[in-house]
A and B are shown apart, each in its own frame.
Chain A
């Protein structure tokens, strides 16, 4: 089959699949989030609301990173003139196009940011909490050694938060996030529109436009994603810092988005779509990317851990110290083995990468592990300061994960409906259909 034969036929149209999936997705989303909120607010005790909002952030970051990974996937293909990926690029574009809508899903997070009843970003409430701590100290009179150490630590903490105040304050935070989403919206809209325009264009003008803007777009992408990662996730632990953190989040985002492409492609093919467009060679390459980024994630995660472990400087080590406390010890090991060692071994063989059903299994697995990774980053902040750093894992997180993922599915399915499932007149489509792996 060559590109000349490709038409906007039923094969390459989502058709009635899209609205059905969208309905299921949105229903799952609403039910999941509502049930989680109910559990959190009504039955989870005093900490319930905070628990809910932490879990909400995990779910939000989960689908946002998938969308952002897809955005990178799209832009980089234009930048390097890749041909193999043309047949699956539309799926990535559709996913990327949902990022602005995911941004709307982030609006509720303004509540924990602004309200003093629920706090997930401690710095946002720093002044509020500090007063209470001072009261406690004053009432005690003379200080024991422990209390003194605690007081010094809290003073240091206070001065650090004050030092960062120019950056970590609610107004600037909201402005930055608004800025990121604005940029992402512009990028997503541009690359989506141009790509759809190419479907019916006579020349290759839209492709050339996309190629032209791909390089500056990647720069914008790198900076916004890094700072969004610092803001949304790293600043949960307001004294901790790591220069590699943006790269860490990027590696997980790209990995999960490739896994998501495999899931989408397999689903659509089972529904009889794209059957002649996406074949084993494309899955093989997607599998290679999953393998490569499993390794890359491991490399970045190890670099961050090893350097902090080796230098052993308290201002950094607490991030890992929390996560090897009994409540989190197992989870950390699970992440190492489950996010790196198992998929590394599993995806090593070319037979796995070319067996699309097995590959689908690995893709789903990787999506789950990506969520575990984000959970591991966010949730230890929930019970921090308490002796046992309890791991609050419960139905709330699971419901929110399902709900958020449902919303992503719904948003993507809704977008799928509008146009061809494949970039029809892309100049490199022919090459993409015909290539073979060595």
Chain B
């Protein structure tokens, strides 16, 4: 009984964000220890090796694609948007948690973000790189991809600003740039820490170069914190806008199942949902491999599970609203599109999506499940799968039932589609493993800030 009352008590007074007997120095040691170790753990080599191999597969697929043409993919009429856009939206969605954790939770004064924000910001950047790759290679002639930007060219033409696809170019590139700045800005004080601990000249030079000469000046901290707050305040609506714009790609059309007004917030919720799942997928092994359990605690994982449950519920709300409105609108095409989703040729994809995204996160109502790392890890992968299928369901089920029944066509991916998706994971994990090895995985200065002794007069309380 005493145990259960402690748990309920924790609901209001959560445990400390930094576990164990940590002080400022031990936090520095823990985080820097990972990148100062002469050799990474064995598991690092295994994952990195696999990732690089997959990256090679991706490279081969891209070369094959560009040398041959986009006909090597399964895309065709009427499913002109096949796996590439599914993968694009999937990766962009994953790329949302980083900025959400950094910016939105910062604005909400959720201190627990400090343990995982560096991690997820890095993840964001790598995920957006993976995402941006798909539209870039799908154009076929990748060497003229610069035509998507409003640059003067020999044809005296300008891009069409009324097209949601161009909004995407602006939204994703803005998001990438701002996320990169945000990430790098957070890294600077920590790079200075690594610089000041460096034992070799090369380390001192390279970390010193990127630390910009940071010396912890409080006059600089003042502007730094203000700029950080401003970037957070700017990045928050930016996160909303990016996935909203991605949703516009679909929703501005007149295709049943695509054109519905709830798409923007629904996509944003789904993006956060999948992003948090990916953070869990990455952080559960990482904290174990690199010994960060005292900084990325069970409380962090518990909170992320709750966010997943909440956003999963929002996604469920959107599914329900779409279905209700498909009937309520009295629009027979809309009605057909939704019946077709659930019971048409792609019924299996639909039910994978619903069970992974809406039903399975319900397990997190139980605190016991939220504290079981195996369960949480498996659930996070389920959510990743479910969210990939959500994009697949939206894209393919709506397109494959064209207004012209003679065009109806069952879409199947080619082996190139499949290997490109797998290869994109290689790209992601290669970057991620390099990050884990060479950059501080936890925001050292921010975690120090949540220790009680970081606040003047803390003894008074």
Contacts and interface: CB of A to CB of B under 8 A. Distances in A.
Interface of A: 80-81, 84, 159-160, 163-164, 167, 204, 207-208, 211-212, 215, 219, 222-223, 226, 230, 239, 241-247, 288, 295, 299-300, 303-304, 306-308, 310-311, 313, 315, 427-428, 435, 438
Given A241-B325, A243-B325, A307 B248 contact: yes
A247 B265 contact: yes
Interface in B88-127: 107-109
B261 A204 contact: no
Q: Which of B107, B261, B265, B318 has the most CB of A within 10 A?
A: B261
B443 to A, nearest CB: 16
B138 interface: no
Given A303-B244, A313-B254, A244 B262 contact: yes
Contact of B8 (A163, A208, A241, A244): A208
B202 interface: no
Interface string B388-407: 00000000000000000000
B317 A222 contact: yes
A222 B13 CA distance: 27
Contact of B109 (A84, A160, A310, A311): A84
| Nearest 9 Cβ contacts at the A-B interface | A243-B262, A244-B261, A310-B252, A303-B264, A163-B330, A244-B262, A160-B330, A241-B329, A242-B261
A311 B254 contact: yes
22 contacts: A84-B109, A163-B330, A207-B12, A212-B11, A215-B365, A226-B317, A226-B321, A230-B328, A241-B325, A242-B262, A243-B262, A243-B321, A245-B261, A247-B262, A295-B237, A303-B244, A307-B259, A307-B261, A307-B263, A310-B248, A311-B259, A438-B229
B451 interface: no
B229 A427 contact: no
Interface string B2-29: 0000001101111000000000000000
B122 to A, nearest CB: 24
Contacts of B13: 427
A159 B329 CA distance: 12
Nearest to B265: A247
B330 A164 contact: yes
Give the contact-size bracket for chain B: 35 or more
Contacts of A81: 11-12, 14
B331 interface: yes
A211 B317 CA distance: 22
A203 B318 CA distance: 39
A405 B234 CA distance: 36
Nearest to B12: A427
A79 B98 CA distance: 23
Contacts of A310: 248, 252
B283 interface: no
Given A226-B321, A243-B321, A304 B12 contact: no
Interface of B: 8-9, 11-14, 107-109, 225, 229, 237, 240, 244, 248, 251-254, 259-265, 309, 313, 317-318, 321-322, 325, 328-331, 365
A106 B9 CA distance: 41
Contacts of A223: 317
Given A243-B260, A307-B252, A167 B328 contact: yes
Given A164-B330, A222-B317, A307-B252, 4 more contacts: A243-B321, A299-B237, A307-B259, A307-B260
Contact of B265 (A207, A215, A244): A244
A311 B325 contact: no
B240 A239 contact: no
B452 to A, nearest CB: 13
Given A163-B330, A222-B317, A438-B229, A299 B264 contact: yes
B310 to A, nearest CB: 8
A219 B262 CA distance: 17
A284 to B, nearest CB: 12
B265 A303 contact: yes
Given A307-B251, A311-B252, A164 B328 contact: yes
Contacts of B225: 438
A252 to B, nearest CB: 15
Nearest to B240: A299
A304 B244 CA distance: 11
Contacts of A315: 329, 331
Contact of B328 (A84, A241, A288): A241
B373 to A, nearest CB: 22
Contacts of A243: 260-262, 318, 321-322, 325
B259 A313 contact: yes
A303 to B, nearest CB: 4
Contact of B244 (A288, A299, A427): A299
A159 B365 CA distance: 44
A288 B248 CA distance: 28
A358 B108 CA distance: 24
A219 B313 contact: yes
Q: Which of B229, B253, B321 has the most CB of A within 10 A?
A: B321
Contacts of A303: 244, 261, 263-265
A143 B82 CA distance: 49
Contacts of B11: 81, 208, 211-212
Contacts of A311: 251-254, 259
Contacts of A204: 9, 12
A167 B262 CA distance: 21
A159 B331 CA distance: 11
Contacts of B365: 215
Nearest to B309: A215
Nearest to A285: B109
Contacts of B331: 315
Contacts of A208: 8-9, 11-12
A311 to B, nearest CB: 5
Q: Which of B8, B12, B108, B331 has the most CB of A within 10 A?
A: B12
Contact of A306 (B8, B248, B318): B248
Q: Which of A81, A207, A308, A311 has the most CB of B within 10 A?
A: A311
Contacts of A167: 328
A147 to B, nearest CB: 24
Nearest to B317: A222
B41 to A, nearest CB: 36
Nearest to A245: B261
A244 B324 CA distance: 12
A158 to B, nearest CB: 11
A207 B10 CA distance: 12
A429 B240 CA distance: 32
A296 to B, nearest CB: 8
A295 to B, nearest CB: 6
Q: Which of B13, B259, B328 has the most CB of A within 10 A?
A: B328
A163 B13 CA distance: 53
A428 to B, nearest CB: 7
Nearest to A315: B331
A381 B200 CA distance: 76
A242 B260 CA distance: 7
Contacts of B264: 244, 299, 303, 307
A38 to B, nearest CB: 38
